[in-house]
């Protein structure tokens, strides 16, 4: 069946909105976003004009309607195009994915992230990211992963993939409004497990490029870096592209400065690993890549050719995390049994998703009726995950 045929066979699935009061998506806009603004406001000694802009956003994003960016914003034309269908609408009535993206772009506008002046380029989420990286619990993660050295390549890969998957379980955006979320994530369970197919792409001597589209910094990026090291050190790939965000996004998404912070953290805890990653960047076997697309309110169906070409040339693209999953499959009310291959047939090259569930969208999981019968909570709290592959 061709990709087109696969897509034509897709069920009709409406986009996920935030228009049901009390629902998860409604609570993200109504409760989580104001909480994030409160944390950002307290993060730095911002001057009155920035604090006032943040306060206006807090009111606007909870009870206002979608308004345009200031006309002099560097990306005003792009956002005018993307927001054209939604201007004047309630934030709750536009696609949830779009509303979240626009919220974070408006937040950067409020803190003058792109504006000339002293606050330009200051990541408003740095204190939260730094605190996470300073967490002593990270040492236990690292000690466990350091034991990988010397074990058979397949064992190293299995352990590194497992750590990368569950490293996604709590992102800072989730923790902001659900501080107890972390302790609940003990009943780790996979609702889809294509790990054997994943390992099939990553066998010794097969070389090639792996694109790792990263998600969060800190305690997720560290195991991602361990996976990179396992791939390169065991010849499971000739080179790895680590795709990071070009600007602050969804609180914890990783940028280059977060990678450098991780390398500094590793210099103390795992100096040999840090040296291998540092050398890999210098010899080009580990290339950091970014693109404006990664912070745009679009699904991966709208990939720019520069990224599509990279994914097409790779032997496998690994897409990390919940948000990337939503952008990959389409943030829609898909029947859970909808085949992963059917909704990802458009993607250039082979693709694998490593994701802990923190939002409702799900495909390729035909056996979740019993879980859903008890409500959607299990889809939101990071206790369940998936490994899905489309060759």
Ligand X SMILES: O=P(O)(O)OC[C@@]1(O)O[C@H](CO)[C@@H](O)[C@@H]1O
Residues at the interface with ligand X (CB under 6 A): 28, 32, 100, 168, 171, 173-174, 215-216, 250, 321-323, 326, 358-359
Q: Give the integer Cα–Cα distance in Å for 67 and 238.
A: 47
In the bound state with ligand X, the residue whose beta carbon lies nearer, of 18 and 209, is 18
Name the residue nearer to ligand X (CB basis): 216 or 344. Answer: 216
As a whole number of angstroms, the distance between CA 31 and CA 43 comes to 19
For ligand X, the closer of residues 163 and 280 by Cβ is: 163
Class of residue 168 by CB neighbours under 10 A (exposed 0-12, middle 13-18, buried 19+):
buried
Residue 25 CB, nearest approach to ligand X (Å) = 7
Give the shortest CB-322-to-ligand X separation in angstroms: 3
Could you tell me where the DSSP H helices lie in 13-66?
A: 24-27, 33-43, 48-63
Nearer to ligand X by Cβ, of 103 and 340: the residue is 103
Of 28 and 61, nearer to ligand X (C-beta) is 28
Cβ at position 356, least distance to ligand X in Å:
7
Question: Cβ 101 to ligand X, closest distance in Å?
Answer: 10
Q: What is the closest distance, in whole angstroms, from the C-beta atom of residue 311 to ligand X in the complex?
A: 19
Of 247, 221, 240, nearest to 288 by C-alpha is: 240
Please state the closest distance from residue 187 (CB atom) to ligand X, in A. 18
Q: What angle do CA 93, 95, 96 make, to 5 degrees?
A: 95
Kindly tell me which of 7 and 31 has the beta carbon lying closer to ligand X.
31
- Reference 113, options 75, 87, 58; nearest CA is 75
**Least spacing, CB of residue 323 vs ligand X, in Å:** 3
C-beta closer to ligand X: residue 194 or 331? 331
- The vertex-288 CA angle with 74 and 256, nearest 5°, equals 60
Taking the complex as a whole, the smallest distance from the CB of residue 2 to ligand X amounts, in Å, to: 30
Other CB atoms within a 10 A radius of the CB of residue 197 amount to: 15
Q: Which is nearer to ligand X, 82 or 119 (CB)?
A: 82
User: Residue 353 forms beta bridges with which residues?
Assistant: 319, 388
- How does 36-75 read in b/e, with b if 16+ C-beta sit within 10 Å? bbebbbebeebeeebeebbeebbebbeeeebeebeeebee
CA dihedral 298, 299, 305, 306 (to 10 degrees): 80
């Amino acid at each position: 069946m061709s990709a087109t045929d696969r897509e034509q066979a897709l069920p009709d699935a409406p986009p996920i909105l935030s228009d049901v009061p009390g629902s998860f998506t409604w609570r993200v806009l109504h409760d989580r976003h104001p909480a994030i603004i409160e944390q950002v406001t307290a993060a730095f000694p911002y001057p009155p004009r920035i604090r006032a802009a943040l306060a206006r956003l807090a009111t606007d994003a909870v009870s206002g309607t979608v308004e345009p960016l200031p006309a002099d914003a560097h990306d005003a034309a792009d956002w005018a195009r993307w927001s054209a269908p939604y201007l004047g609408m309630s934030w709750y009535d536009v696609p949830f994915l779009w509303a979240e993206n626009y919220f974070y772009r408006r937040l950067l506008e409020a803190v003058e992230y792109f504006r000339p002046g002293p606050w330009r380029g200051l990541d408003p989420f740095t204190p939260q990211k730094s605190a996470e990286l300073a967490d002593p619990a990270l040492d236990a993660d690292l000690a466990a992963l350091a034991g990988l050295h010397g074990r058979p390549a397949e064992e190293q890969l299995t352990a590194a993939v497992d750590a990368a998957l569950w490293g996604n379980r709590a992102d800072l955006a989730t923790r902001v409004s659900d501080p107890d979320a972390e302790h609940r994530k003990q009943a780790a369970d996979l609702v889809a497990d294509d790990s054997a197919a994943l390992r099939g792409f990553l066998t010794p001597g097969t070389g090639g490029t792996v694109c790792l589209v990263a998600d969060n910094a800190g305690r997720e990026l560290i195991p991602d870096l361990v996976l990179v090291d396992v791939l390169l050190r065991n010849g499971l790939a000739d080179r790895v592209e680590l795709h990071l965000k070009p600007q602050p996004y969804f609180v914890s998404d990783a940028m280059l400065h977060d990678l450098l912070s991780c390398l500094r953290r590793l210099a103390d805890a795992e100096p040999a690993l840090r040296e291998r990653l540092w050398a890999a960047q210098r010899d080009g076997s580990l290339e950091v890549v970014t693109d404006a697309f990664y912070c745009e309110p679009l699904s991966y169906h709208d990939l720019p050719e520069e990224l599509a070409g990279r994914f097409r040339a790779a032997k496998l693209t690994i897409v990390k995390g919940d948000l990337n999953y939503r952008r990959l499959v389409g943030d829609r009310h898909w029947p859970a049994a909808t085949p992963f291959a059917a909704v990802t047939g458009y993607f250039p090259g082979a693709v694998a998703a490593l994701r802990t569930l923190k939002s409702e969208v799900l495909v390729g999981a035909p056996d979740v009726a019993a879980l859903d019968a008890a409500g959607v909570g299990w889809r939101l709290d990071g206790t369940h995950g998936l490994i899905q592959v489309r060759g």
